[in-house]
Amino acid sequence: MPPLDTAQEPSGQQAPLSPTAALKATAERADNCVFFFDFDGTLAPIQDDPNAVQVTPGVLEAISELAARVRRVSLVSARPVDFLRSRFPDVPLTLHGLYGLESQYVPGKTITYPPALPFADLMTELARRAERELPDEVLVEFKRLSVALHYRSAPELRDAVHAWAQDQASRHGLREQEGRMVIELKPSVQRDKGSVVAEEIEDFSCAWYFGDDLGDLAAFRALAVREAADPNFLGVRVAVRNPETGAEVAAAADLHLEGPAAVPAFLREALTLLPRRDKP
C-alpha cells in the first residue's frame, strides 16, 4: 500500500505491523471494529484560523464509505461536537468533542459529561480575560467548557501564553492540554481521549486510532492497555506525521501516514480490503 510505511522501531520492542495484514485481520472482524479519528491535523490540515478549517478533499467520501464497512466510526477531537457535525453533516458517526466532555451518539442530541458542567461560567470568564490580557496575535477560541489559546500566527509568544495559562490553571484548579501551537485550559475532570476510547472499545474486539498530536497519545495508550489485557483484541495506532509533534506521536504508533493529505488515499486503499456490510 504505497502511502504507508510500517513503523520503524529501532529498539525492536514492537513487531512491525503490515498495513495489509492489519486490514485483512480487520475485515474478518469488521462487525466488531471501530475506527477512531482525531480531526485537526488528521482529517483536516491545520490553519492559522481554526474556524476556517475544512476536511481534506476526499475525506468525507472515504469516511462515509468506511462507516458502511465497519461497526462504528467515531471522531475524538478537541473541537465542540457542533463543529464536528458541521463538517460531517450527514455521515453516521459517533462524535466526541472537547476531549470527550461532549458526545453525540444520535444526531442532534449532544450529551455533556456532567462533572464538567460546573466549569461553564468560569470558562466564559476566562475567555473574556484572555481576550483582554493576551496579545492580539493570540487567537482565543471559546468552546463552552474549555478555552484554547492559539499562537500559530506568532510562535514567539509561546512562553508568554504558557505562563498565562499556567497561572490561570493553578489559580482555578484547571488542567492544561498542550497541542500544536495551542494550549488549552480544561476542567479538572478525569476525561481525555484515552478515557473516551477505553470506554468505547469495551464491547469491540478491534479498534484503529488515527491521530497527530500529543492529546492522541492517551488514546494510543488505551488501545495498548486493552491489548495487554486481551490477546484477541486488535489495536492499530496510526500516526499522521507533522513537523511539530510528529516524532513523539510517530514513536508510539504502529503505522505512519505522511500528513493529513495522505489520509484519504490510505482510506480508499483500506476500503478495497473491507467488504460492504448490511447494518442491522
Binding of Mg ion by 38 (CB under 5 A): yes
CA separation for the pair 144, 55 (Å, rounded): 23
Which range touches Mg ion (CB under 5 A), out of 199-207, 209-217, 218-226, 249-257?
Answer: 209-217
For Mg ion, give the closer residue by CB, 40 or 254: 40
User: Among residues 7, 33, 41, 143, which is the contact residue for Mg ion, using CB under 5 A?
Assistant: 41
Tell me whether residue 5 is one of the annotated catalytic residues: no
For Mg ion, give the closer residue by CB, 86 or 170: 86
For Mg ion, give the closer residue by CB, 168 or 245: 245
Binding of Mg ion by 212 (CB under 5 A): yes
Grid cell listed for 8: 520503524
> Could you tell me where the DSSP H helices lie in 212-252?
217-229, 246-251
CA separation for the pair 12, 112 (Å, rounded): 42
Element (H, E) at 21: helix 19-28
For Mg ion, give the closer residue by CB, 71 or 186: 186
Catalytic annotation, pick one of 38, 212, 213, 216:
38
User: Among residues 69, 213, 253, 265, which is the contact residue for Mg ion, using CB under 5 A?
Assistant: 213
Give exposure, 123-147, as e/b (b: 16+ Cβ within 10 Å): beebbeebeeebeeebbbbbbbbbb
> Whose CA is closest to 99, among 115, 125, 78?
78
Within residues 243-272, the interface with Mg ion by CB under 5 A covers: none
Binding residues (CB under 5 A) for Mg ion: these are 38, 40-41, 212-213
**Which residues are identified as catalytic?**
38
